[in-house]
Amino acid sequence: MKTLVFFGSAREKGHTRAMVDLLLENLEGEKEIIDAYRTEVQPCKDCRFCWHKKGCSIKDGMQDIYQKIEEADNIILASPMYFHSITGELKSLIDRLQLYWAGHIRNDMPTHFIKKGAILMVGGAPSFENQFLGGELVFKNLLNDLSAELVGEVCLPNSDVDSLETRQDIAKDVVELANKLNQANSSK
Ligand SMILES: Cc1cc2nc3c(=O)[nH]c(=O)nc-3n(C[C@H](O)[C@H](O)[C@H](O)COP(=O)(O)O)c2cc1C
């Protein structure tokens, strides 16, 4: 089983990373983190190359990431909320995954889910309605375009005050999510 994490926090040792680390500690198989703040990739320029060919005209570090996506059984999307959405750096990297969305135009989308997906998000503010909605919209639609079935989502609100140490219930949810992913991939 191979797991690829798209990690979108500016802080290398923040709450989002703590969520990712706990998930990975409890996940079997090979694991790799793509760190959006420390990966140099250019933004999508909407050249529409991918409307005709499943690839990208920009030859940079993304080529390697596309290969890792193809090989991954699990795609984990992890970001803090910045102004009610995922961070800009991660969004810019995700825009380079337009070639998966363009499968709708090329007409070569897989007809069924071929991967599993999971979402981890952190918000500094005390919990409020729709705190994570902006991130959910981006992440859930991306998982669909990657033909990845959403297995679960865990969010940590109030991270200005709380952490996985003070919110053991949320830490437990992260471990349970790892177990679900292990079970969902038990044949791999
Ligand atoms: C530019 C910026 C915008 C933010 N916007 C929000 C927000 O809309 N909602 C929220 O709950 N927290 C917001 N926060 C707080 C972060 O989500 C919080 O600090 C989180 O813990 C950061 O993740 P990290 O611990 O992985 O660095 C914002 C923080 C920054 C720096």
Structural domain count, the chain = 1
CA of 76 to the centre of ligand 1 (A): 19
CA of 160 to the centre of ligand 1 (A): 8
The parent domain of residue 67 ranges over 2-184
What is the amino acid identity at position 100?
A: Y
> Residue whose CA is closest, atom 17 of ligand 1?
123
CA of 23 to the centre of ligand 1 (A): 20
Query: Residues 124-158: pLDDT tens digits?
Result: 999 999 999 999 999 999 999 999 999 999 999 99
**Domain containing 177 — which CATH number?**
3.40.50.360
CA of 87 to the centre of ligand 1 (A): 9
Q: Any residues with CB less than 8 A from the CB of 69 and at least 6 apart, and which?
A: 4, 75, 97, 100, 146
What is the amino acid identity at position 101?
A: W
d(CA 51, CA 101): 9
pLDDT of residue 8: 98
CA of 69 to the centre of ligand 1 (A): 27
pLDDT of residue 98: 98
**Ligand 1 nearest atom to the CA of residue 83, by list position:** 8
Nearest to 81 by CA among 18, 168, 144, 158: 158
pLDDT of residue 187: 81
- Is 0.75 surpassed by the pTM of this model? yes
Residues with CB under 6 A from ligand 1: 9-11, 14-17, 80-84, 122-125, 131, 159
> Residue whose CA is closest, atom 15 of ligand 1?
124
Nearest to 96 by CA among 126, 63, 124: 63
Instruction: Name residues of the chain where pLDDT drops below 70.
Output: none
pLDDT of residue 188: 75
Is the separation of the CB atoms in 92 and 43 below 8 Å? Answer: yes
**Ligand 1 nearest atom to the CA of residue 156, by list position:** 21
